[in-house]
Structure 1
């Protein structure tokens, strides 16, 4: 910006025959006053073209922001560590379906350990990236991979719950540990594939001395946001709808046909115990469907609230701002980013709330009690 003003000044001097040598100091002072009136403008052409902002925080603001982000980070680490320890060391929880819960916890734990601290420091100093250009690419790759793995694992969990509800006899037989391990590996490989294009030249990250921003290439943005968010959330919504519909049909059958049918068959059937056993089984399936619908509904709701605003902004930004920078207010970007990270804190508590075994194990670990 300053170079542009100087060039305009010299052109004006050259093109005005009335200008004398006495006017030159005055004009230079005016030019300096103009640049000092806009202190947030960068002094290099590259910086001004990107338009990155620096947020100024007072001491009180820094303490509050630092305290909140630190608590958020440590709670995320603690909650997800509880999940990993519970499933890995408690025999009752060592089931193939819980491999997905462990994968989700590892992804969220990685976000808390390898991503959140650097974002916290960056936010505390006003949004400037101070960790260098090389680490910027590593950081972006880690951030994208872990967040995508978390989101895609949530998607696979929704499919797993749907199959477990709709195919209770055949699906558990095919749900072996090896099959689940392959599924988890596939999720992480697909998540890692999203990080590769910027590292191999398809779309370069926005990376200079003060800015570390994922590539704003339109093609890469569409590809990455579709694979990392829009496709998984579509699958999750579809699974939730189908589980909800199955639970609703079961509820209707249970309410309308339950007691009249039971009374009629008791009068006609000699084997009351067999009828009672069948009815109890139907009630058990009904309750399981209701619980699965409630769990998945809360998971999808929390996930959408946390990540949807961020991905809508990420998708629209290249079309609005161009491919080389971000024109969105920096505080908006940071707020939506941390809202997405908060999903990593929420996940372990959602599953603990609906899983009595996990909840009991959490309590035993925290209270240092003896657990099976």
Structure 2
């Protein structure tokens, strides 16, 4: 055995495939466990998230959740059509994929991977419009449908050249147990796709979320200035807050990661316009006081001044709470979107670098497997991020797990003979 050999046994199969380790070896078992965990985790997480959004009326009527459903569909299809065959390939060393070209085309098709990128871009742009330009571009069904159509058109257009063998035909890659386009065969196709991803898509996503965070930061500064404002200018602040609340309501209805129960409370809660007394209240009270108690005019004026002061104090507190609640929602929205973007980049950037046709990299087996499986795990991270950042769905998950735990304890007690 030469000095370049590792603990893995490398030999050639009659069909030309290099075998790096036996199917019963420890390495194969570890690889199999990892890919099975990724497959089952992505399948269960995406199915639960999709069913929860579809069954929940509040979540379903939120237009932005349509984009989240589109992302879940892409991840779910990628899991079933790409990750599932990889499990078989780990143990048969690619024999099934290599001798079934149609299955290899399905497994190596990049349709849903590019669909994931396109949907993340659509989510970023939609959140930017909802938070920064909410008054000028309010959320609408037509805009959401246009975004979804754009995602599928972009994904189909990006995947067809390799799917039909025009450029970079899909073949079995011995180094990673998977089928994928032959990026080395046509460098032009690889360069164009990577320019679109890292020169157009990534800067667009960064721009969108920088704009969202700047908008949230400005609102935080305004909120602090309102909290420290003098009573003499509280009426002006209240009028400004009322207009801002209208815009924020549009923002919250367009955001997907917001806790919907909080949204309902904040949007239906009292605002400055609701709490501001109507003019007729003051006129009626003043007329009554002038006719019935002219001798107590000084005392009544003092009482009215105290009432007005108390009223404005209540308006300020309730308006501050409402604005703070909406600001917290926007912060969570920005954080969720940023995490989705970061996980997409972290999962797929190593694969793009390692398989670059511009760099002459001698890829060992472990690196090929790690980069491919890291990209496949992106379909697991997306629903987990959305689930943990959305309080409504997280609450449903906790309730479901609680019911399962109670049912399991009941079964255990019945089997043990306890009443």
Correspondent of 2:336 among 295, 299, 306: 295
Whole-angstrom distance in 2 between the partners of 1:356 and 1:155: 24
Q: Does 1:329 align with 2:296?
A: no
Report the equivalent of 2:128.
162
Whether the 8 Å CA contact 2:132–2:211 is kept in 1: the answer is: no
Distance, in Å, in 1 between the alignment partners of 2:362 and 2:86 is 19
Inter-CA distance 327–343: structure 2 relative to 1 (3 Å threshold): same
CA spacing shift, 1:88–1:240, aligned 2, 3 Å: same
Give the whole-Å Cα distance in 2 for the aligned partners of 1:335 and 1:254: 47
CA distance in 1, matches of 2:144, 2:101: 38
Q: Give the superposition deviation at 1:113.
A: 0.9
Aligned-partner Cα distance in 2 for 1:320–1:89: 48
- SS of aligned partner of 1:202: coil
SS for the counterpart of 1:261 is: coil
Aligned to 2:37: 71
**TM-aligned CA distance change 1:267 to 1:162, over 3 Å:** closer
Matched, 1:115 2:82: yes
Q: Which residue of 2 aligns with 1:215?
A: 182
**Counterpart residue number, 1:136:** 104
Q: Over residues 140-167 of structure 1, what are the superposed CA-to-partner deviations in whole Å (9 max), with x where a residue is unaligned?
A: 22xx111111122122112222222123
Correspondences of 1:37-48 after superposition (within 5 Å): none
Tell me: CA distance 1:110–1:368, structure 2 relative to 1, closer, same or farther (3 Å): farther
Counterpart in the other structure of 1:179: 143
Equivalent runs, 1:296-311 vs 2, <5 Å:
296-311=337-352
1:299 and 1:262 mapped to 2: Cα distance?
Answer: 41
Is contact 1:127–1:330 with CA below 8 Å preserved after alignment? no
Residues 213-252 of structure 1: pairs in structure 2 closer than 5 A: 213-216=180-183, 217-228=186-197, 230-252=199-221
Residue 126 of structure 1: CA displacement?
Answer: 4.3
Distance 1:64 1:360 in 2: 34
Distance 2:13 2:81 in 1: 33
Q: CA deviation at 1:73?
A: 0.5
Q: CA deviation at 1:300?
A: 2.5
Q: Which residue of 2 aligns with 1:149?
A: 115
CA distance in 2 between partners of 1:184 and 1:124 (Å): 38
CA distance in 1, matches of 2:326, 2:204: 23
Q: Partner residue of 1:96?
A: 63
Aligned-residue offset at 1:368: 5.7
8 Å CA contact 2:108–2:171 kept in 1: the answer is no
How far off is 1:366 after superposition? 4.8
Is the aligned partner of 1:345 residue 2:314?
no
Cα pair distance change 1:243/1:110, threshold 3 Å = same
CA change 1:123–1:279 in 2 (3 A) is: same
Secondary structure of 1:320's match? coil
Residue pairs, 1:7-18, within 5 angstroms: none
Distance 1:43 1:103, change over 3 A: closer
- Offset, 1:277: 5.0
- Say whether the 8 Å CA contact 1:65–1:124 is kept in structure 2: no
User: How far, CA to CA, are the matches of 2:179 and 2:40 in structure 1?
Assistant: 24
Structure 1, unaligned runs of 5 or more = 1-33
2:156 match: 192
Contact 1:229 1:311 in 2 (8 A): no
1:220 CA displacement = 0.6
Query: CA deviation digits over 1:279-330, x for unaligned, max 9?
Result: 444334432332223222322222222222122223x2x1235xxxx84223
The answer on whether the counterparts of 1:148 and 1:228 sit within 8 Å (CA) in structure 2 is: no
Q: Name the SS of the counterpart of 1:168 in structure 2.
A: coil
Q: Given the alignment, which residue of 311, 316, 319 partners 2:358?
A: 319
**Structure 1 counterpart SS, 2:228:** helix
Displacement of 1:347: 1.0
- Supply the RMSD in Å over aligned alpha carbons: 3.4
Task: Report the counterpart of residue 389 of structure 2 in structure 1.
Answer: 354
CA distance in structure 1 between the aligned counterparts of 2:193 and 2:338, rounded to whole angstroms: 25
